[in-house]
Amino acid sequence: MRIILLGAPGSGKGTQAEKITAKHNIAHISTGDLLRAEVSAGTELGVKAKAIMDAGQLVSDDIMLGMVRSRLQADDCEKGFMLDGFPRTEVQAVGLDAMLAELGQPIDTVLFFEVPFDEITNRLLGRGRADDNEETIRSRLAVYEAQTKPLVAYYESKSLLKNVDGLGEMDEIATRIEAALA
Ligand code: ADP
């Protein structure tokens, strides 16, 4: 099973990704977590990435594609994987398609988390992560609208998209996801 989770920052992707990957025993690939690990480790990439993340901007497509390419080569991805927070741009989506075609491992389903804009803003403000101040949130949501939202149409045209109502209790949403995957 190979899945992409698509949705705005704060749409609940990370929480649900933990649940689904544990249940289906597939690898959880969160590019946000991979980047935060680089930041914690103080690598050259981490130092560069931190400034970009704190500003609510996107790390370059080349870096992200390279990071995902090497992550997909790990053994735990053989059973399947879930991409969480990637792709975030059309360049990343097209690059991912090429990569997965090469590996003979196409995506089965793209789950799109639908959460109203106001709710997302409130959730992000309440979360209190370093990149969750009001100004950063504004730019992350603007970046999402401009760069990531168009991927909904991209995957719809490939008949891979399934919408998931992202409002409600965590367990309720998990049940909706399982129904979408069944
Ligand atoms: P959220 O889902 O709350 O936005 P993430 O953990 O997915 O949080 O991402 C945090 C930050 O890491 C993003 O705002 C962005 O700066 C960077 N990032 C994560 N994934 C990508 C990606 N695929 N392309 C570019 N930047 C990314």
Q: What would the pLDDT profile of 21-48 be if each residue is shown by its tens digit? A: 999 999 999 999 999 999 999 999 999 9
- Name the residue range of residue 13's domain: 2-29+80-181
Distance between Cα 20 and ligand 1 center (Å): 20
Ligand 1 contacts CB of residue 95 (under 6 A)? no
Q: Model-level pTM?
A: 0.94
- 15 in a structural domain: yes
pLDDT band at 63 (very low <50, low <70, confident <90, very high): very high
- 65 in a structural domain: no
> 12 near 113, Cβ under 8 Å?
yes
- 52 in a structural domain: no
Please count the structural domains in the chain. 1
- 165 in a structural domain: yes
Radius of gyration of the CA atoms of the chain, in A: 16
User: What angle do the packed helices 170-181 and 13-24 form, to 10 degrees?
Assistant: 60
The CATH number of residue 118's host domain is: 3.40.50.300
